[in-house]
Amino acid sequence: MGLPKLGEPMPQFKAITTKGEIEFPNDYRGKWIVFFSHPADFTPVCTTEFYAFQKRYEEFKKLNAELIGLSIDQVFSHIKWIEWIKEKLSLEIEFPIIADDLGKISNLLGMIHEAKGANTVRAVFIVDPKGILRAMFYYPQEVGRNIDEILRVLKALQISDRNLVAMPANWPNNELIGDKVIIPPAKNEKVAKERLEKASKKELECYDWWFCYKRLE
């Protein structure tokens, strides 16, 4: 059915998970969701990713976000795998993992790319508290995700929503403006002129009327 689109509601579905049945995204209304797929249980790259996600689980929860994993394995495989992680790696996976053994959800969300095999690729969907898709990433099976980047994007989206600003490249370590944020460009001549005047008086930081920025209070 193709990829879901940014700014649109996520498809709704019921699913069996390691924590019981869920209705997605309705059961998570009021929370952000980081929903991600992995190619298969009992594989090394996926194991490192789950370890990394769990180690940062408290950071996600502090941002009012929940993690949900998925692969086309059966729930019995998920359970045995997380038991192995707890026994061998001394870490308990606390978030649910969807058992999409028939591949319906994976196909619905464009997670299976035939040229890369029958398993899911490494997809990530960041969904806001209203069930709207806000960001997505796709990685091949051979490249593990950077979990800190997913956290960074989640933080940036929340700050953008609260302050009506945009984030520069590599925020909060941008090469031009550091950890400051970008003020949306002026939408008319009057505002553009006012910004230049404020910049000349050092009341506003700007490179030009269309590129102004500030430090968050």
By annotation, the residues acting in catalysis are 46
**Token pair of 20, please?**
């019981």
Rounded CA-CA distance 63/60 in Å is: 5
Rounded CA-CA distance 52/93 in Å is: 10
Rounded CA-CA distance 42/132 in Å is: 32
Q: How far is CA 36 from CA 50, 71, 94, 152, in A?
A: 10, 9, 15, 16
**Token pair of 90, please?**
């001394």
